[in-house]
A and B are shown apart, each in its own frame.
Chain A
Amino acid sequence: MKMLINVPENVVADALRGVAAAHPELTVDVANRVVVRRDSPVADKVGLVSGGGSGHEPLHGGFVGRGMLDAACPGEVFTSPVPDQMTRAAAAVDSGKGVLFVVKNYTGDVLNFDMAAELAEDEGIQVGKVLVQDDVAVTDSDFTAGRRGTGGTLFVEKIAGALAEEGAPLERVEAMARQVSESCRSFGVALSSCTTPSKGSPTFDLPAGELELGIGIHGESGRERRPMMTSGEIADFATDAVLTDLDPDGPVLLLVNGMGATPLLELYGFCAEVRRVLDERRVPVARTLVGNYVTSLDMAGASVTICRADEEMLRLYDAPVSTASLRWGC
Chain B
Amino acid sequence: MTDLTDELDAGTVFRWLTTAAASVEREADVLTELDAAIGDADHGSNLQRGFAAVVTALGKESPGAPGAVLVLAGRQLVSSVGGASGPLYGTLLRRTGKALGDPERVTGRELADALRIGVDAVAQLGGAAPGDKTMLDALYPGVEALSAGGPDPYAAARTAADEGAQATVPMRARKGRASYLGDRSVGHKDPGATSSALLFTALAGAVADE
Residues of A within 8 A of B (CB): 53, 75-84, 106-108, 111-112, 115, 138-139, 142-145, 148, 196, 198-199, 203-204, 216, 218-221
Q: Report how many residues on chain B are interfacial, defined by Cβ distance under 8 Å.
A: 31
* Contacting pair A83 B79 (CB below 8 A): yes
Within the complex, which residue of B32, B49, B86 is in contact with A112, where a contact is CB–CB below 8 Å? B86
Complex Cα distance A199/B45, Å?
Answer: 9
- Contact flags (1/0) for B39-58 with A, using CB distance below 8 Å? 11110011001000000000
Q: A77-B42, A108-B86 are in contact. Are A82 and B36 (CB under 8 A)?
A: no
Residues 104-116 of B, flagged 1 when their CB comes within 8 A of A and 0 if not, give: 0000000000000
Counting CB contacts under 8 A, is B145 at the interface? Answer: no
Interface centre among A139, A143, A148 (most CB of B within 10 A): A143
Which B residues lie at the A interface, using CB under 8 A? 32, 36, 39-42, 45-46, 49, 78-88, 125-126, 174-177, 179-182, 184
Q: Taking A80-B82, A82-B82, A111-B125 as contacts, is the C-beta distance between A145 and B177 under 8 angstroms? A: yes
> What's the dominant secondary structure at chain B's contact region?
helix
The smallest C-beta distance from B77 to any residue of chain A, in angstroms, reads 9
* Nearest B residue to A77, CB-CB: B42
User: Nearest 4 A-B pairs (CB), nearest first?
Assistant: A108-B83, A108-B84, A218-B40, A111-B87
Specify which of B45, B79, B88, B174 lies most central, judged by the most chain A CB atoms within 10 Å of its CB. Answer: B45
Q: Which residues of B contact A138 (CB under 8 A)?
A: 180
Interface contact B41-A219, CB-CB below 8 Å: yes
Q: Which residues of B contact A78 (CB under 8 A)?
A: 40-42
Chain B residues, CB < 8 A from A82: 78-82, 86
Cβ 8 A contact of A107, one of B45, B78, B177: B177
Q: How far is the CB of A129 from chain B (nearest CB, A)?
A: 16
Q: How far is the CB of A137 from chain B (nearest CB, A)?
A: 8
Query: Which among B32, B87, B175, B181 is the interface contact of A198 at CB below 8 angstroms?
Result: B32
Q: CB within 8 A of A144: which of B42, B79, B126, B179?
A: B179
CB-defined contacts of A145 to chain B, threshold 8 Å? 175-177, 179-180
Question: Smallest CB–CB gap between A148 and chain B, Å?
Answer: 7
* A108 and B82 in contact, given A148-B180, A198-B42 (Cβ under 8 angstroms): yes
Given A216-B180, A218-B177, A219-B40, are A84 and B79 neighbors across the interface (CB < 8 Å)?
yes
